[in-house]
Amino acid sequence: MDGLYLVEKLERERDLTNAEFTEVLTCREEVFDKYLSERARAVRERVYGKDVYLRGLVEFTNICKNNCKYCGIRCGNTKVERYRLSEEEILACCDQGDALGFRTFVLQGGEDPYFTDERLVPLVRQMKEQHPDCAITLSIGERERESYQRLFDAGADRYLLRHETANKAHYESLHPRAMSYEHRMQCLRDLKEIGFQVGCGMMVGSPGQTTEHLVEDLRFLQAFQPEMVGIGPFIPHHETEYAKEPAGSVELTLRLLSVIRLLLPEVLLPATTALGTMDPLGREKGLLAGANVIMPNLSPTGVRGKYLLYDNKICTGDEAAECVRCMSLRVAKTGYKVVQARGDHVRVTER
């Protein structure tokens, strides 16, 4: 029962050797996954009880100056119908979200040059003024430190910027030369120093990814100590050079969610839309593997089908209210419950 011993060690010490991490990520014992997810759930319940936090995702622009090789809205994809929500539309999404019980709004988009600090700062201020009990999360890619500072000063609380992969050569293989691993890492450090609650994370099964890369990702998470970690399976998009690449595995994603929960007990960990896209019960399985956050879509239905980072994305047709109803029922079936709370990161666990 080698695998089970490793789960116990990981929970107790929040650490393993590289060889042990590799063993955990590749173990084929049947009882292993069951035990791993049981321990991840126990740790999650010790910190966050049975609560599941909702984050209302507003996909406010699909215009992007970057050309990440895996992403469906990369600038090189000429087949995308581009859109940008107006300030009024974004604020209307937040109003609707507030009425539906959301206490966190996530503004996510491509790196759209239109959204300068001069435009974003007043928007963040207004969101904060109109919804003072809500947290604001930004997920708008790489910017300069000064810009992050302005957005933080305007009232943004959290920032999601996945590191995508902690291995420099792998990062460079997934991105065009104009983007750099160093700058992405610098952004993450800046965000943290400024005082944001920071989320990083990686795609699971991105082209060229090895188990060693994933171990490097885990080491990075351990060193960086993010407040949030977003992971999901890589899913090919037909208008990218990775169109024919295999998608990442649901099983490995679930296993990583559990490992991350044991590594960082207090982390806010979403069961992502990509996971729900690969498996109709993916998000529920994610919650049962240690995740404690769900990010339903609050974008206007008219634009949802245009924010396609990968093929077959789910929930592109439903109204926000319908998404919330559906997710609450799905969550309830797992034995957890959706709560109306900001759901900030806590630091409570004693070692």
Measured in whole angstroms, the distance separating CA 300 from the mean position of its chain's CA atoms is 20
Q: Does 279 bind ligand SAH (CB under 6 A)?
A: no
Q: Which helix (H) or strand (E) holds 60?
A: strand 56-61
Choosing from 62, 139, 149, 209, the residue that interacts with ligand SAH (CB under 6 A) is 139
Q: Does 232 bind ligand SAH (CB under 6 A)?
A: yes
Q: Does 62 bind ligand SAH (CB under 6 A)?
A: no
Q: Contact, 30 vs 37, CB < 8 A?
A: no
Question: How is residue 150 written in tokens?
Answer: 């302005």
Choosing from 40, 124, 218, 235, the residue that interacts with ligand SAH (CB under 6 A) is 235
**Given CA atoms 227, 7, 205, 18 in this order, what sign does their dihedral have?**
positive
Q: Does 110 bind ligand SAH (CB under 6 A)?
A: yes
Q: Does 108 bind ligand SAH (CB under 6 A)?
A: yes
φ, ψ at 104 (rounded to 5°): -140, 130
Interaction residues for ligand SAH, span 63-102 (CB under 6 A): 70-71
**Given CA atoms 222, 227, 232, 238 in this order, what sign does their dihedral have?**
negative
Q: Contact, 54 vs 283, CB < 8 A?
A: no
CB nearer to ligand SAH: pick between 43 and 229: 229
Q: Does 216 bind ligand SAH (CB under 6 A)?
A: no
Stretch that binds ligand SAH, among 21-29, 126-134, 135-143, 256-264 (CB under 6 A): 135-143
DSSP-based three-state secondary structure for 319: coil
Interaction residues for ligand SAH, span 1-60 (CB under 6 A): none
The least CB distance from residue 240 to ligand SAH, in Å, is 7
DSSP-based three-state secondary structure for 113: coil
Question: How is residue 270 written in tokens?
Answer: 């979403």
Residues near ligand SAH (CB under 6 A):
70-71, 108, 110-111, 139-141, 161-162, 164, 203, 232, 234-235, 237, 274, 309-310
